[in-house]
Amino acid sequence: MNTKVPNIDYNEAIKSSGLFKKLGFILFALVVYRLGTYIPIPGINSAVLEQIFSQHKDGILGIFDMFSGGALMRMSIFTLGVMPYISASIIMQLMQSSFDGLKALKEQGTIGRKKIQQYTRYLTIVLALFQSYGISNGMLNISDTVDPTLGSVLFFQISSVICMTAGTVFLMWLGEQITENGFGSGISIIIFAGIVANLPFAIFNTFELGRTGALSAISILLIIGLMLALVVVICFVERAQRRLLVQYPKRQVGNKVFGGQSSYLPLKVNVAGVIPAIFASSLLLFPNTISNFSSSSEGILSTISFYLGHGKPLYMLTFFSLIIFFAFFYTGIVFNPKEQADNLRNYGGFVVGYRPGEQTAAYLEHVIYRLTFVGAIYLGLIALIPEFLIAKLSVPFYLGGTSLLIVVVVAMDFFSQIQTQLYSSQYEKALSKNKVYKSKWL
């Protein structure tokens, strides 16, 4: 007997699911995170640092500052944000496909995943130590950024490394707490909050350009319309799936027949997510950042930086090519057609029209190749549209393609988690009522 879930009663579902409690915890965690971005590490001259960041906002420092919610510009205890954790997670995923020991841990189930997660935490600390040491050295090399009354250089380096590393570890722990006690991925929500936090300032600056005449009213309306169109496109593509029909054969046990059902194997169009755009942006912005820190305005590095500047044709072509490359590279890591085909065969299923095993694996590889091509083109276009705005309209486009993609995808996942929680709570209530009803007649 199938229990049909009635139309969801939101008031009852909200009470039974503890929705307000979870949302309250997420809000409290984000308030703590935002407060931490305003606590500077000892010995930083904030006024000089803000001036330097205004000069290097188009470099890789601007990308990191965007993901940290302005913490890098203020050199706060959360300067590194969760970027070391993201880097450690990506490195661990790469190592799982290369080392048999980690691959065996992954196949052990929950216990293996917990060990891999622990290794990821250790690697996060190591990366945070290196990055914080590099940032502290960079601050020392730039004149007037460190308060001379602080004391010795060694004290500044030790204190800044400890503060920034501890801040990253705290954010890593806070993200895990959000995941356990809230909705969705806590790390993604922290990144989302960091990007959205500076969005009001970007909107204000855009309208200020319109007030002063630097931007026309038509240009501002065009930007708003384009933003809305990009949100619609991102929502459509991120929800898009290619569903492969999977059939399970019938089997007879005694007088009963089991199986004979069909289901679908969903394959996302954009399997790689936003990772290719982040990798490509970081790689392309290195020459520009190094050139900005250099005292010389001539040389090969300055020439490369000029041609790879925002809005330049070479920059757009290279950026688009790198996104496509990283999309195929990362998809090949996270999706293994042979492993997927073996899992289907082990459970007795097969893709309709293809034999289990190698033929199914070859078909899955063909499908995922075509989907990745479409997804890579989509990522490249989303990432390049802000570059056209910068080149044609001279717009300080803060919410670029990569950040807009992160904001929309995290918001979609967040509301999807809430809806799933509400329906799950209603379904469990329906099942409990059905059990009580049956027990009365036994």
Amino acid at 62: G
* Residue 283 counted as domain residue: yes
* Residue 177 counted as domain residue: no
* Residue 389 counted as domain residue: yes
Q: In this predicted model, which residue has the larger pLDDT, 5 or 139?
A: 139
Least confident of 69-73, 114-118, 285-289: 285-289
Please give the C-alpha separations between residue 73 and each of 47, 62, 200, 281, 356, in angstroms, as whole numbers. Answer: 10, 9, 17, 19, 55
| Both tokens assigned to 245 | 């029909």
Within a 10 A sphere around the Cβ of 168, how many other Cβ atoms?
A: 26
Give start and end residues of each alpha helix (H) in 97-185: 100-106, 110-141, 153-181
Give start and end residues of each alpha helix (H) in 259-357: 275-293, 300-307, 313-334, 337-346
Three-class DSSP category at 297: coil
Sheet holding 350-351, edge to edge: 262-268, 241-247, 350-351
pLDDT at residue 425, rounded to an integer: 67
Strands, DSSP E only, in 249-330?
A: 250-253, 256-259, 262-268
Q: What is the DSSP letter of 210?
A: H
Distance CA 184, CA 168 (A): 20
Distance CA 92, CA 102 (A): 9
* Residue 194 counted as domain residue: no
366, pLDDT greater than 70: yes
Q: In this predicted model, which residue has the larger pLDDT, 258 or 320?
A: 320
Distance CA 3, CA 265 (A): 25
pLDDT at residue 360, rounded to an integer: 87
Q: What is the DSSP letter of 9?
A: -
Q: How confident is the model at residue 382 (pLDDT cuts 50, 70, 90)?
A: confident
pLDDT at residue 5, rounded to an integer: 44
* Over residues 147-160, mean pLDDT: 74
Distance CA 36, CA 112 (A): 33
pLDDT at residue 407, rounded to an integer: 86
* Over residues 2-6, mean pLDDT: 45
| CA atoms within 13 A of residue 102's CA, in its CB half-sphere | 14
Angle at the Cα of 65 (from 60 to 69), degrees rounded to 5?
155
pLDDT at residue 1, rounded to an integer: 40
Characterize the bridge pairing of strands 256-259 and 250-253. Answer: antiparallel
* Over residues 407-414, mean pLDDT: 85
Question: What is the tens place of the pLDDT at every residue in 72-100?
Answer: 778 888 988 888 888 888 788 778 777 77
Q: In this predicted model, which residue has the larger pLDDT, 350 or 25?
A: 25
Distance CA 72, CA 38 (A): 10
Q: In this predicted model, which residue has the larger pLDDT, 347 or 376?
A: 376
Q: What is the CA 423 to chain-centroid distance, rounded?
A: 26
pLDDT at residue 254, rounded to an integer: 61
DSSP β-bridge partners for residue 76: 40
Q: In this predicted model, which residue has the larger pLDDT, 343 or 250?
A: 343
The number of domains in the chain is 1
* Residue 379 counted as domain residue: yes
Q: Domain of 298: which CATH number?
A: 1.10.3370.10
| Both tokens assigned to 71 | 């913490």
Strands, DSSP E only, in 262-414?
A: 262-268, 350-351
pLDDT at residue 3, rounded to an integer: 42
Q: Tell me the residue length of the chain.
A: 442
* Residue 22 counted as domain residue: no
Domain range for residue 344?
Answer: 241-397
86 and 131 in contact (C-beta within 8 Å)? no
pLDDT at residue 14, rounded to an integer: 62
| Terminal alpha carbon distance of the chain | 16
What own/partner pairs with CB < 8 Å and gap ≥ 24 does 258-267 have? Answer: 259/348, 262/352, 263/349, 265/340, 265/344, 265/351, 266/241, 266/242, 267/241, 267/242, 267/243, 267/367, 267/368, 267/371
Q: Which residue has the tokens 């661990």?
A: 92
Question: What is the tens place of the pLDDT at every residue in 120-131?
Answer: 999 999 989 988
Q: What is the DSSP letter of 80?
A: S
* Residue 391 counted as domain residue: yes
Task: Supply the Cα-derived Rg of the chain in whole angstroms.
Answer: 25
Q: Which residue has the tokens 């393609």?
A: 401
* Residue 438 counted as domain residue: no
